[in-house]
Amino acid sequence: MSSATRVTLRWAEAADQPALLALFERAFGASMAPELWAWKYPEGAKQSLLAEQNGVVVAHYGGQPRAMQGVGQALNCLQISDIMVDPKARGVLTRHGVFAQIAEHFTDQATRPNGPYD
């Protein structure tokens, strides 16, 4: 897979969990319990973004909501987690690689002004 190949980006759904857990294992060489994944990424929360290439999940970018205080102001933040790219889809870090595409889209859609997080 070329790192410059365009991918389809979309928010993950419950039905994507098996593919995402398989990606986790390919990317990290370890498994994650399905119950833990479901707890971290509740369906519809728009905090788990995936990238597909030719119908295969090749990347994930996720985050956990966190309430924080910044200069006396409440902030609705997102702690980034479970960032992964399939080893076969990894390449040179470029502006058009799978990682760059998913990171930019997640940030654009999850943080203000487009998303709910500060």
Q: Structural domain boundaries of the chain?
A: 8-110
Phi, psi of 27 (to 5 degrees): -75, -40
pLDDT at 43: 81
Confidence of residue 2 (pLDDT cuts 50, 70, 90): very low
Summarize pLDDT for 97-109 with one digit per residue, the tens: 899 999 999 999 9
Rg from Cα positions in the chain: 15
Task: Say what the pTM is.
Answer: 0.87
Distance CA 66, CA 77 (A): 5
pLDDT at 85: 95
Distance CA 14, CA 112 (A): 25
More confidently predicted of 44 and 64:
64
Q: What is the DSSP letter of 21?
A: H
Confidence of residue 45 (pLDDT cuts 50, 70, 90): confident
CATH of domain 8-110: 3.40.630.30
Q: Would you say residue 3 has pLDDT above 80?
A: no
